[in-house]
Amino acid sequence: MTINVGDRLPDVTLTVATPDGPEQTTTGEFFSGRRVALFAVPGAYTPTCSARHLPSYVDKASDLKAKGVDEIACISVNDPFVMSAWGKADGSSDITMIADGNGAFADAVGLSMDASKFGMGKRSQRYSMLVNDGVVEQLNVEAPGEYRASSAETLLEQL
């Protein structure tokens, strides 16, 4: 079942890519007491994710923070080393890179997908959500192959 606006995020272990290396946390800890703009991508370094999705949040980070967002985070079913490298290559210090290596978060929120026909296995659907103290305020799930609803621009319009 897919998570909905008004639902509390399930408590799942995540790995944050930090300058000091991977650090484990839980959704309960990470989202507690703050407003987080979270966006999910099917894969680091993939064409749309690298050319459009991550750059939209890098470009609009200060605008999102000016509208009350405390943290901007990108999550993907990749390992923390890949997420760290992608963040260094294409991200910014304004974006926290989160590894959902086994897809536990994607499964828990009902937003995983099977990308086996592309040789990618289980992945996350493309979406964005605004989470306030662990509760989903906005959820924008893309149709397969699309990129519009989950952009930073769309989330900005919703704030």
Tell me phi and psi for residue 146, to 5 degrees. -100, 160
Q: Known catalytic residue: 49?
A: yes
- Reduced to 3 states (helix: H, G, I; strand: E, B; else coil), residue 12 is coil
Query: d(Cα 41, Cα 83) in Å, to the nearest integer?
Result: 11
Catalytic-role residue among 9, 16, 49, 73: 49
Residues with Cβ within 8 Å of residue 33, at least 6 apart in sequence: 133
CA-based nearest residue to 99, from 116, 110, 84: 84
H helices within 78-149, ranges in order?
A: 80-90, 104-108
- Catalytically active residues are 49
